[in-house]
Amino acid sequence: MLDLLFACRNLTRHRVRSAISLTAIAFGVVALLLSGGFIEWIFFAMRRDTIHSLLGHIQIVRTGFFAAGAADPFAFLLPETAEVLSAVQSASSVRMITPRLSFSGILSRGESTVSFLGQGVDPEKEKEVSRFVTISQGDALSSSDPKGVILGEGLAESLGAKIGDRIVLLVNTPSGGVNAVEGHVRGLFYTLSKTFNDSALRLPIATARELLRVSGAHTWVVLLDDTDKTTATLNLLRRRFPPSTAKIEFVPWYDLADFYNKTVTLYSRQMHVVKFIIAMIVVLSISNTMMMSVLERTGEVGTLMALGFKSKKILALFVAEGFMLGLGGGLAGVVLGTALAWIISAIGIPMPPAPGMTHGFTGEILVTPGLALVAFSIAAGTSTLASLYPAWRASRLNIVDALRHNR
Amino acid sequence: MWKLAFRNIFRHQARTALTLAAISFGVIALILAGGFVQDIYIQLREAVIHSQFGHLQVYRAGFGTFGRRSPYQYMISNPERTVAELRQLEHVVDIMPRVNFSALLSNGRSSLPVIGEGIDPEKEVKLSSYMRIKSGRQISGADAFGILLGEGVANALKVSPGDQVTLLLNTPEGALNTLDLEVLGVFQTFAKDYDDRAVRVSLSAARQLLATKAVHKLVIALTDSNLTEKVAARVRQTLPPREFELKTWYELADFYQKAVDLYQRYFAVLRLIILGMVLLSVANSVNMTIYERTGEFGTLMALGNRRGDVATLIVVEMLMLGLIGSAVGVVLGVALATAVSSVGIPMPPVPNTNTGYTALIRVVPAEVERAFLVGLFATLAASLLPAFKASRRPVVEALRHN
């Protein structure tokens, strides 16, 4: 304890030098917090958008649907009502459960024809589940307008379709026949996935069932009140409805969000590079400062040794100084970085559309406690490490030679 | 002055070494990070060109604007003549006609919307070096009724090489046409969204399906991607603009554009961080040096040296340090980049792609030059204020430090 107090006093003896080192450390911590916080925010926003536009938190499907469903969609239909449905609805963390029916077909408007991937959804419930399916023109689906269809922006563009246009949907039915329905474009939407915007349309599930001549749904999308409860709820549901008896499976969003998972892997790796660079800043700046300090205070070290200080004690003293510098710089950096993150988030960072997206977005910076802790530990840890060598040099000084420096 | 400065920086070797380390580290970090990003650009570029787009694409005028809506009204009706004309140009390796169509692909139980391309098998195999055949085999000139499926298409329909599939589409006349084809192989490119929707058939099969002799585009392959601009200008001169329009690969590759955009920003931030780091470390050691040598500067001034001389001395010393540090950084950085490149960095799959890749670090002269200048100017900038302050000290007070 005395060591630390002593170290603090020594540091205040040479204010300019300490200030510069502190600035370097704090700069590193701020850089880490801001760049890391930006990436944390991207993860957060991407997770939120993916869940609230495409996936929901948990999807309930017939066993094997994701492996083989696209090849034989009508073999994997869920019934319209089931015991599972009401049981899931009444689970404590579940906010909502909504059915979706997926199919593909050909869409035509006048002379032009394109193929599409369709989703029949419950218009009212989907408003809440799909908060991040942004309606850019026209209106969202409504059950009072059963023939109103919303198109992805890219799909509408390749068809040349505008709000109010008549369109015809042509699909294969389970019996092998062909069925068609005439509808109109009620709105255009976009999500964070360009692929989805380019090929998808949504319409009320009642109309979709009529068109395909089926009942039921392919997926029940479960929305929870908190994303962090996904795994707990998933385990609960899986225990209650074992796949062997219920013939259904529960799939969490993170098993389906391929794009999200790959983004997290890639960006996390890039963050390691930034962390390494920042650790190097701290090491270089601290070893520089400590080296100067040792050289300058050779006489002082000699005096201390002559007074009976063991070389271990000298070592501890200098390491304590490095540690205190790291602690102070780290703290200052965390405070400053958090404040800056807060200000920048309030203004927003205009970002161009990322690969695979169609619309730009406004970035923010999310400093999580974990990130702050990592940044702080890097500062304190590396500065202690960097002070080891100068401290060792100081502790190895020859008393007589060192004393001679006092003139 | 230069000689004195040179001697001064070797007076205190430990300190000089530390300052040099800081500068060199910054320069090395810049070269490595810059080379890594450059490599991403290059690999992505080659992947885009050699799996989907080729270097240049020629269409009938108006295809870019209206082609998506009415694709059959904007076709090149007499491709042979244009091909012969373009073949005269320098750096052109090959010219490949392609027909595009969107259709439903059916395995008998269900169907999937796909985007199809009718290609000249012999020529396209040479261009598509970044298209990996995962199972089955490549399409060849003899396969009039064969089809290649993207990995995602094959998975969705649960078909594998040898199976029969049916293509259903609207002909230019508005009628529905179907064609039974045999799956020859399954391909994988870097772009997952392409593999999820794309199929390839031979040009003759596509022409039969659409009942037409015309093609949508002529894809031009070049000897070197860097020549794209030059040849594009030449092609524009050759072809009458009222009849044809031209797009380069980078105008077509939306994913590439956005990735480059994103990485440029990312790299700008990284460069700023490294710049800040070099500035701070150098400022740190310059300050130390000058504080310690206060007495010496006092002596210099007492001997009649002007304040300007002292300031210049300090700046010249730092300039030398910056030069040496940056030069060492460039040498080490290039060496490291070469060493790392010979091993390769295994990378996880980028979002929207299926397979990981091996990253290299490219040594690009422009990036190296910029890294050198950043190192030099950061050092110089960091020395200005301390040099000014040291030279303003009253002589008597400075002398007392001795």
Number of residues assigned to chain A? 407
Q: What share of chain A is helix, strand, coil (3-state, %, to 5)?
A: 60, 20, 20
Residues 6+ positions from B264 with CB-CB distance below 8 Å: none
Closest-CA residue to B42 (of B212, B190, B217): B190
Tell me which residues of chain A, numbers 92 to 111, contact chain B at a CB-CB cutoff of 8 Å: 104-106, 111
Looking at residue B142, what DSSP letter applies? Answer: T
B176-188 and B146-150: which strand pairing?
Answer: parallel
Residue B180 pairs in a beta bridge with B166
Rounded CA-CA distance A374/A151 in Å is: 44
* Helix-helix angle A15-50:A311-347, to 10 degrees: 50
Q: Are A69 and A305 in contact (CB under 8 A)?
A: no
A–B CB contacts, 8 A cutoff, strictly below = 167
CA dihedral of B251, B255, B257, B260, whole degrees rounded to 10: -150
What residue of A is the nearest CA neighbor of B272?
A31
* CB contact set of A4 (below 8 Å; sequence gap of 6+): A320, A323, A324
What is the tens place of the pLDDT at every residue in B65-113?
Answer: 777 777 788 888 888 888 888 888 888 888 999 998 888 888 887 778 8
* A115:B349 CB<8 A: no
Of B4, B11, B19, which Cα lies nearest the Cα of B325? B19
d(Cα B221, Cα B224) in Å, to the nearest integer? 9
**Chain B residues touching A35 at Cβ < 8 A:** 269, 273
Write the CA distances from B333 to A276, A377, B19, B322, B367, integer angstroms.
16, 29, 17, 16, 11
Contact assignment for B113 to A195 by CB distance below 8 Å: no
Query: Which residue is it, tokens 């007499």?
Result: B78
- Closest CA relative to residue A114, chosen from A225, A201, A227: A201
β-partners of residue A222 are A58, A97
The answer to whether residue A285 neighbours chain B at the CB level (below 8 Å) is: yes
Give B-chain residues touching A73 at CB under 8 angstroms: 110
pLDDT of residue A19: 85
* Most B-contacting residue of A39, A199, A277 (CB-CB within 10 A), to test interface: A277
Rounded to whole angstroms, the Cα distance separating A316 from A324 reads: 12
The residue among A280, A295, A359, A383 with the most chain B CBs within 10 A of its CB, best to mutate, is: A280
Question: Which of B196, B261, B292 is nearest residue A352 as measured by Cβ atoms?
Answer: B261
Strongest mean pLDDT among A71-75, B39-43, B172-176: B39-43
pLDDT tens figures, B24-35 = 988 898 898 888
Amino acid B279: pLDDT = 79
Strand partners, A221: A59, A98
Report A:178-237 residues touching B (Cβ under 8 A).
194-195, 199
**Residue B350 is nearest to which of A23, A117, A266, comparing CB atoms?**
A266
User: What DSSP string runs through B180-209?
Assistant: EEEEEEEEE-S-HHHHTTEEEEEHHHHHHH
CB atoms within 10 A of CB B108: 14
What 8-state DSSP symbol labels residue A73? G
* A114/B102 Cβ within 8 A: yes
Sequence-distant (6+) residues with CB within 8 A of B212 are: B72, B75, B99, B172
Closest B-chain CA to A259? B351
Q: What is the pLDDT of residue A327?
A: 92
Cα dist from B314 to A291, B6, B20, B291, whole Å? 21, 11, 16, 12
Contact B284 A111 (CB under 8 A): no
- What pairing do the DSSP bridges indicate for beta strands B198-202 and B146-150? antiparallel
| A71 lies within 8 A of chain B by CB | yes
Q: Give pLDDT, residue B242.
A: 84
Neighbours of A402 (CB within 10 A): 20
Of B292, B112, B96, give the one whose Cα is nearest residue B197: B112
Is there a contact between B364 and B35 (Cβ–Cβ < 8 Å)?
yes
Q: How many angstroms separate the CA of residue A112 from the nearest CA in chain B?
A: 6
Q: Give CA–CA dist B225/B42, Å, rounded.
A: 9
Cβ neighbours for A217, distance < 8 A, ≥ 6 positions apart: A77, A78, A80, A99, A100, A101, A120, A205
Residue B171's contacts (CB-CB under 8 Å, 6 or more residues apart) are B177, B209, B210, B211
In this predicted structure, what is the pLDDT of residue B328?
95
Q: What is the ipTM of this complex?
A: 0.71
User: What's the pLDDT tens digit per position in B370-386?
Assistant: 889 988 988 888 888 88
Q: In terms of Cα–Cα distance, which of A98, A99, A103 is closest to A69?
A: A103
The tens place of each residue's pLDDT in chain A, 407 residues long, gives 567 888 888 888 878 778 878 888 898 899 889 988 988 998 999 899 899 988 999 999 988 888 877 777 888 888 877 788 888 888 888 898 999 999 888 888 887 778 888 999 999 988 888 888 999 999 999 989 999 999 999 999 888 889 999 999 988 888 878 889 999 999 999 998 888 898 899 999 999 999 999 988 999 999 999 898 999 999 988 888 887 777 888 999 999 888 888 888 888 887 887 788 778 777 877 777 777 778 778 888 888 889 988 888 889 988 998 899 899 999 999 999 999 999 999 998 888 887 777 888 888 999 999 999 999 998 899 889 888 988 998 888 888 888 887 65
Element (H or E) spanning A24, and its range?
Answer: helix A15-50
Q: Which of A284, A340, A349 is the best mutation test for B, with the most CBs of B within 10 A?
A: A284
- pLDDT tens profile A275-291: 887 787 778 777 777 77
Q: Do B19 and A295 touch (CB under 8 A)?
A: no
Beta bridge partners of A248: A62
What does the pLDDT read at residue B336?
Answer: 93
The answer to whether residue A303 neighbours chain B at the CB level (below 8 Å) is no
Nearest-CA distance from A87 to chain B in Å? 32
pLDDT above 90 covers a percentage of chain B that reads 15
* CA atoms of B371 and B387, how far apart (whole Å): 24
**Which of 366-385 (A) contact B at CB < 8 A?**
none
Closest by CA position to B58, among listed B216, B202, B214: B216
The Cα of B88 is separated from the nearest Cα of chain A by a number of Å equal to: 35
A354 touches chain B (CB under 8 A): yes
User: What DSSP line would sit under B234-285, residue for residue?
Assistant: HHHHHS-TTTEEEEEHHHH-HHHHHHHHHHHHHHHHHHHHHHHHHHHHHHHH
3-class DSSP assignment, residue B97: strand
Q: What is the pLDDT of residue A1?
A: 59
Residues of B in contact with A287 (CB under 8 A): 18
Looking at every residue in chain B, the average pLDDT score rounds to 86
Residues of A in contact with B258 (CB under 8 A): 352-357
Within B159-314, strands assigned E span: 164-170, 176-188, 198-202, 217-222, 244-248
For residue B288, list chain A residues with Cβ-Cβ distance below 8 A.
17, 288-289, 292
Q: Do B350 and A72 touch (CB under 8 A)?
A: no
Taking CB atoms and an 8 Å limit, are B259 and A16 in contact across chains? no
CB contact under 8 A, A288 and B285: yes
Q: Which two tokens stand for residue A121?
A: 């959804």
User: Which letter, b or e, does each residue of A304-335 get, where b requires 16 or more Cβ atoms within 10 Å of its Cβ?
Assistant: bbeeebeeeebbbbbbbbbbbbbbbbbbbbbe
* Residue B262 to residue A106, Cβ atoms within 8 A: no
Chain B closest-CA separation from residue A132 CA (Å): 20
Between A72, A277, A351, which is nearest B274 by CB?
A277
Contact A262 B255 (CB under 8 A): no
* Residue whose token pair is 């976009």: A190
In chain A, the N- to C-terminal Cα span, in Å, equals 32
A72/B158 CB distance under 8 A: yes
CA distance B341 to A259: 28
CB contact under 8 A, B110 and A114: no
**What does the alpha-carbon distance between residue A130 and residue B62 come to, in Å, rounded to a whole number?**
37
Residue-level pLDDT at A407: 57
CA distance B312 to B260: 43
CA distance A127 to B315: 65
Is A159 near chain B, with CB under 8 Å? yes
pTM of the model: 0.79
Helix (H, G, I), strand (E, B) or coil at A103: strand
The answer to whether residue B260 scores a pLDDT higher than 90 is no
- Work out the minimum CA distance from A93 to partner chain B, whole angstroms: 31
**Residue of chain A whose Cα is closest to the Cα of B357:** A266
Kindly give the pairing relationship between strand A148-152 and strand A178-190. Answer: parallel
Round to whole Å and give the CA distance between B337 and B71.
47
- Which residues of chain A does B29 touch, with a Cβ-Cβ cutoff of 8 Å? 277, 280
**Which helix (H) or strand (E) segment is B339 a member of?**
helix B307-343
Question: Could you tell me how far CA B81 lies from the centroid of its own chain?
Answer: 35
Is the CB of A27 less than 8 angstroms away from the CB of B29?
Answer: no
Are A352 and B258 an interchain contact pair (Cβ–Cβ within 8 Å)?
yes
Q: What is the pLDDT of residue A210?
A: 92
CA separation for the pair B79, B95 (Å, rounded): 10
* Residue-wise DSSP of A197-239: HHHEEEEEHHHHHHHHT--SBSEEEEEES-GGGHHHHHHHHHH
A24–B155: do the CB atoms touch at under 8 Å? Answer: no
Closest CA to B314 of B265, B363, B376, B384: B384
Q: What angle do CA A259, A127, A216 make, to 5 degrees?
A: 85
Q: Which three-class secondary structure state does DSSP give residue A302?
A: helix
pLDDT at A207: 94
Q: Which of A288, A298, A383, A392 is most worth mutating to test chain B (most B CB atoms within 10 A of its CB)?
A: A288
